[in-house]
Amino acid sequence: MTLSERQNLIGLTRIEMQSFFASLGVREFHARQVLQWIYQRGINNFSQMTDLSKTFRDQLQQLAQVSVPETLTVRESSDGTRKWLLRLEDDNCIETVFIPEEDRGTLCVSAQVGCSLNCTFCATARQGFSRNLTTAEIIGQLLAVKNDLQAFGYGDRPITNVVMMGMGEPLLNYDAVVAALHLMLDDLSFGMSRRRVTLSTAGVVPAMERLALDCPVSLAVSLHATNNDLRDELVPLNRKYPIETLLQACHRYVAGENKRHITFEYVMLKGINDSKGEAQTLARLLSGLPAKVNLIPFNKSPGIEYECSDQSTIDTFREVLLSSGLMTVTRRTRGKDIEAACGQLAGRFADRTRRRWKFEQAIAPC
């Protein structure tokens, strides 16, 4: 059996790994051992998994593999942020970003090769769309970065938080993303709490409602406008799921969960969406929701004509929201000098021909 034909154990949930082992005639409890070897001990060589029988290790050597995306480059920002360019088996490349802080280390993970949503302020959108990532490619980002960070001296658990805010719309790759989320939360793999795993969406409403039932992690919603005309322009997905529909879904997402809140992301675009009146409208829109607002200074990318709001304008916008009782922070720009800041991820794509098809699927009537 060639390497490409072997089952990649990366990305298999506990249940899926149990099923695979059962198909080999092996008892299911071995899935617990292998998960811990891979995710908690960082071992990808079956011969080193010493609490497995030699016969089983030899069988795994023949039929399985532990494979993560190949690291092509690692760039470090002056502020300590690091960006990985990772090559996939089909030669497409994705980017993932690690943001170290005193009390945590946050990894920004990609869900797709490119993006189909065509948000007008985002560099990823300009690259087009190639395909969805597999669960193995999503989880492989965590493992590849974790291994590198440990080599850089960051300790045994350098990644404390994960944000699905990299390339692509996570909820348009629902099954693979949710399987990856379950692995992030599984005590036998990464063992993260739901509060430390955040999924960012432009507002794929039906998938938000599924997520609330299947894997209710922290949710961030890319809002960016307070009226439908402007949001149709900035976030074309709004044509299918307008602001009113999106906010109703947000209310349902937090229903019955007293400790759950939603983060609303709002990119600050000079003269476009940053007036005091728009801040007042935003406060009214979010009234009654357990919400937090992240104001994101726009990060310039080649070919995108918007400008970032002046700092005084951002400060005024923030004060309006704070005075209305909304928790509001201005996100500190990290990694801008290596094009690792919000909205700047691009990667390299072997195939960009499917953007229109995928976007039409996203906005098609149900």
> Average pLDDT for residues 2-31, to the nearest whole number?
90
Mean pLDDT of 261-284: 97
Cα 209 from chain centroid?
A: 18
Question: % helix / strand / coil in the chain, to the nearest 5?
Answer: 40, 20, 40
Instruction: For residue 95, indicate whether it is catalytic.
Output: yes
CA 175 to chain CA centroid, Å, is 14
Residues 289 and 321 in one domain: yes
Is 17 in the same domain as 118? no
Residue 239 sits in the same domain as residue 308: yes
- φ, ψ for residue 280 (rounded to 5)? -65, -40
Query: Using an 8 Å Cβ cutoff, are 8 and 33 in contact?
Result: no
342 is known as an active-site residue: yes
Considering the domain architecture, whether residues 31 and 90 belong to the same structural domain is answered as no
Domain's final residue, options 30, 45, 65: 65
User: Does 115 share its domain with 93?
Assistant: yes
What is the C-alpha separation between 47 and 69, in angstroms, rounded?
Answer: 22
Closest to 183 (Cα-Cα) out of 68, 20, 45, 17: 17
**Looking at residue 181, which CATH number applies to its domain?**
3.20.20.70
List the one residue out of 38, 12, 17, 35 whose CA is nearest residue 27: 17
pLDDT value for 342: 59
pLDDT in tens, 88-136: 999 999 999 999 988 899 999 999 998 989 999 987 777 788 899 999 9
Give the β-pairing of 7-8 and 64-65. parallel
Report the C-alpha gap between 66 and 54 in whole angstroms: 18
CATH of the domain at 51: 1.10.150.530
What pLDDT, on the 0 to 100 scale, is given for residue 356?
A: 45
pLDDT of 335 > 90? The answer is: no
Given this model, what pLDDT does residue 152 score?
82
Residues 42 and 107 in one domain: no
Residue 205 three-state SS: helix
Q: Which domain holds residue 318?
A: 70-363
* Rounded Cα distance, 274 and 270, in Å: 6
- Pick the range with the lowest mean pLDDT from 22-31, 53-62, 151-160, 219-228: 151-160
What pLDDT score was predicted for residue 1?
56
- 60-96, pLDDT tens digit by residue? 999 999 999 999 999 988 888 999 999 999 999 999 9
Q: In this structure, are 113 and 7 located in the same domain?
A: no
Q: How confident is the model at residue 260 (pLDDT cuts 50, 70, 90)?
A: confident
Active-site residue (options: 93, 119, 122, 342): 342
Angle at which helices 135-151 and 174-185 cross, to 10°: 40
Query: Active-site residue among 93, 95, 108, 119?
Result: 95
Q: Is the pLDDT of residue 360 over 80?
A: no
Single out the residue in 65, 90, 113 at which a domain terminates: 65
Write down the pTM of the prediction.
0.90
94 and 31 inside one domain: no
Contact 82, 97 (CB under 8 A): yes
User: What's the pLDDT at 113?
Assistant: 93
Q: How many domains does the chain have?
A: 2
Q: Are residue 168 and residue 43 in the same domain, yes or no?
A: no
Helix extents (H) in 152-242: 174-185, 205-214, 228-234
Query: Above 80 in pLDDT, residue 355?
Result: no
Enter the DSSP assignment of 186.
Answer: -
Of residues 331 and 251, the one with the higher pLDDT is: 251
On whether both 125 and 238 belong to a single domain, the answer is yes
> For a pLDDT cut of 90, what percent of the chain falls above it?
73
Taking a C-beta distance cutoff of 8 angstroms, is the pair 77, 335 a contact?
Answer: yes
Q: What is the pLDDT of residue 198?
A: 97
Q: Show which of 31, 47, 65 is a domain's final residue.
A: 65
Residue 215 shares a structural domain with residue 141? yes
Say if residue 47 is in the same domain as residue 89: no
